[in-house]
Amino acid sequence: MTGAPFAAVVRSRQERGISRATGACPVPCYHGLMRSPRLRFAPSPTGFLHVGGARTALFNWALARRLGGTFVLRIEDTDRQRSEQVYVDAILDAMRWLGLNWDEGPEVGGAHGPYFQMERLDSYRVAAEALLASGAAYRCVCPAREDADTTAPVACSCSVEAVPPGAGGALRFRTPADGHVTFRDLIHGAVSFPCADIEDFVLLKADGVPTYNFAAVVDDAAMAITHVVRGDDHLSNTPKQVLVYRALGHDLPDFAHIPMILGPDRKRLSKRHGAVSIQQFREDGYLPEALVNYLARLGWAHGDMELFGLDEMVAVFDLEGVGKAPAVFDYDKLAWAQASWLKRLAPDELVRRTVPLMAAAGLPVDLDDAVRLEGLVQTLVPRSATLPELVEQARFYFDVPLAWDEAAVAKVLIPGVEPVLGALRERLAVLSAWDHASLEEAFRGLAQDLGLKAGAVIQPARVALTGRTASPGMFEVAALLGRDLVLRRLDEALGRVSGAALPG
Catalytic residues: 271
Alpha carbon 86 to its chain centroid, in Å, reads 17
Pick out residues in 116-175 that bind ligand GLU (CB under 6 A): none
Stretch that binds ligand GLU, among 37-45, 249-257, 311-319, 415-423 (CB under 6 A): 37-45
Task: Indicate whether 42 belongs to the interface with ligand GLU (CB under 6 A).
Answer: yes
CB of 210 to ligand GLU, least distance (A): 12
Stretch that binds ligand GLU, among 36-44, 62-70, 245-253, 453-461 (CB under 6 A): 36-44
CB of 227 to ligand GLU, least distance (A): 11
Return the H-helix or E-strand segment holding 88: helix 85-98
Interatomic CA distance for residues 344 and 81, integer angstroms: 44
Beta carbons of 191 and 184 less than 8 angstroms apart: yes
Considering the complex, state which of residue 41 and residue 443 has its C-beta at the smaller distance from ligand GLU. Answer: 41
Stretch that binds ligand GLU, among 42-50, 129-137, 331-339, 494-502 (CB under 6 A): 42-50
For every residue of 264-307, which 3-state class applies, written as one string?
A: CCCCECCHHHCCCEHHHHHHCCCCHHHHHHHHHCCCECCCCCCC
Considering the complex, state which of residue 138 and residue 300 has its C-beta at the smaller distance from ligand GLU. Answer: 300
CB of 114 to ligand GLU, least distance (A): 12
In sequence order, the β-bridge partners of residue 116 are 75
Task: Indicate whether 210 belongs to the interface with ligand GLU (CB under 6 A).
Answer: no
Considering the complex, state which of residue 55 and residue 139 has its C-beta at the smaller distance from ligand GLU. Answer: 55
In sequence order, the β-bridge partners of residue 273 are none
Q: Which of 25, 216, 465, 493 binds ligand GLU (CB under 6 A)?
A: 216
Q: Exposure string (b/e) for 456-478, b if CB count within 10 Å is 16 or more?
A: bbbbbbbbbbbbbeebbebbbbb
Site string for ligand GLU, 47-86 (x = CB under 6 A): -----------------------------x----------
CB of 386 to ligand GLU, least distance (A): 29
Given its phi and psi angles, is residue 224 left (phi above 0), alpha (psi -120 to 50 degrees) or beta?
left
Stretch that binds ligand GLU, among 39-47, 246-254, 354-362, 396-404 (CB under 6 A): 39-47
- 10 Å Cβ neighbour count for 322? 20
Considering the complex, state which of residue 78 and residue 386 has its C-beta at the smaller distance from ligand GLU. Answer: 78
Interatomic CA distance for residues 491 and 497, integer angstroms: 10
Site string for ligand GLU, 303-342 (x = CB under 6 A): ----------------------------------------
Q: Exposure string (b/e) for 252-285, b if CB count within 10 Å is 16 or more?
A: bbbbbbbbebbbeeeeebeeebebbbbbebbeeb
Q: Which of 44, 70, 226, 338 binds ligand GLU (CB under 6 A)?
A: 44
Task: Indicate whether 23 belongs to the interface with ligand GLU (CB under 6 A).
Answer: no
Which residues have a Cβ under 8 Å from the Cβ of 257 and sit 6 or more positions away? 185, 187, 188, 230, 231, 232, 234, 235, 238
Considering the complex, state which of residue 3 and residue 259 has its C-beta at the smaller distance from ligand GLU. Answer: 259
- 10 Å Cβ neighbour count for 354? 23
Stretch that binds ligand GLU, among 41-49, 141-149, 357-365, 488-496 (CB under 6 A): 41-49
- Where are the strands (E) in 104-207, listed by range? 107-108, 111-112, 115-116, 137-140, 170-173, 180-185, 189-194, 202-204
Angstrom distances, CA of residue 445 to CA of 196, 410, 430: 88, 27, 14
CB of 246 to ligand GLU, least distance (A): 17
Considering the complex, state which of residue 216 and residue 345 has its C-beta at the smaller distance from ligand GLU. Answer: 216
Considering the complex, state which of residue 57 and residue 377 has its C-beta at the smaller distance from ligand GLU. Answer: 57
- Where are the strands (E) in 120-166, listed by range? 137-140
Interatomic CA distance for residues 379 and 372, integer angstroms: 11
Which residues have a Cβ under 8 Å from the Cβ of 353 and sit 6 or more positions away? 287, 345, 387
Pick out residues in 220-239 that bind ligand GLU (CB under 6 A): 230, 234
Beta carbons of 461 and 467 less than 8 angstroms apart: no
Q: How many residues bind ligand GLU (CB under 6 A)?
A: 8
CB of 216 to ligand GLU, least distance (A): 5
Considering the complex, state which of residue 43 and residue 299 has its C-beta at the smaller distance from ligand GLU. Answer: 43
Binding site for ligand GLU (CB under 6 A): 42-44, 76, 212, 216, 230, 234
